Amino acid sequence: MLIQIILIAAMAVALYVTWRRVMQNVIRPAEALGWSVVWVGAALVVLAPNITTRLAGVFGVGRGVDLILYASVPVLFMLVFKLFIQHEKMERKLTDFVRREALKGMEKHDERS
């Protein structure tokens, strides 16, 4: 089916870009490995959608699609939380910068007077 071809191509591109970023020292190999598991797992699900239904049965969920939806909630929650933490770290760096400038201003003023 066309949709399967498009999705598989997208996963292949994602896999290629992930490892290219490792070569460029943008991300660590361990991180790339984690993402590779995601992309390959997604490709397997696209190729054989019955996998999710079988997995859903193991977890006691009716349909494979439902399992994916349920699983995506904590994953999205974790990603959003990670963003919050990164935002907080940025805020603190910004505060440090603002503080350094304020203290420099005081020292300059003291030198002049």
Partner 1 sequence: MKVTAVIPAYQEGARISKTVLAVLPYVDEIIVIDDGSEDETRLNAWREGAVVLRHGINRGQGAALRTGNEAALKRGAEIIVHIDADGQHDPISIPQLLIPIQQDTADVVLGSRFLGGEAVGIPWSRKALLNAARTFNAFAVGVPRSVTDPQSGFRAMTAKAVRMIDFKQDKMAHCSEILRLVTRSSLRWQEVPVCVHYSEESLKKGQKPWDAARIAWQLFLGAFVG
Q: Which residues of the shown chain bind partner 1 in the complex (CB under 8 A)?
A: 84-85, 88-89, 91-92, 94-95, 98-99, 101-103, 105-107
In degrees and rounded to multiples of 5, residue 61 shows phi and psi of -100, 140
Nearer residue to partner 1 within complex by CB, 6 or 94: 94
CB of 74 to partner 1, least distance (A): 16
Nearer residue to partner 1 within complex by CB, 70 or 77: 77
Nearer residue to partner 1 within complex by CB, 30 or 107: 107
- Give the whole-angstrom CA distance, residue 109 versus residue 77: 48
CB of 108 to partner 1, least distance (A): 11
- Give the whole-angstrom CA distance, residue 41 versus residue 11: 10
Burial, 67: exposed, middle or buried (Cβ in 10 Å; 0-12, 13-18, 19+)?
A: buried
CB of 101 to partner 1, least distance (A): 6
- Give the whole-angstrom CA distance, residue 16 versus residue 68: 24
Nearer residue to partner 1 within complex by CB, 17 or 98: 98
Task: Give me 43's structure tokens.
Answer: 């490709």
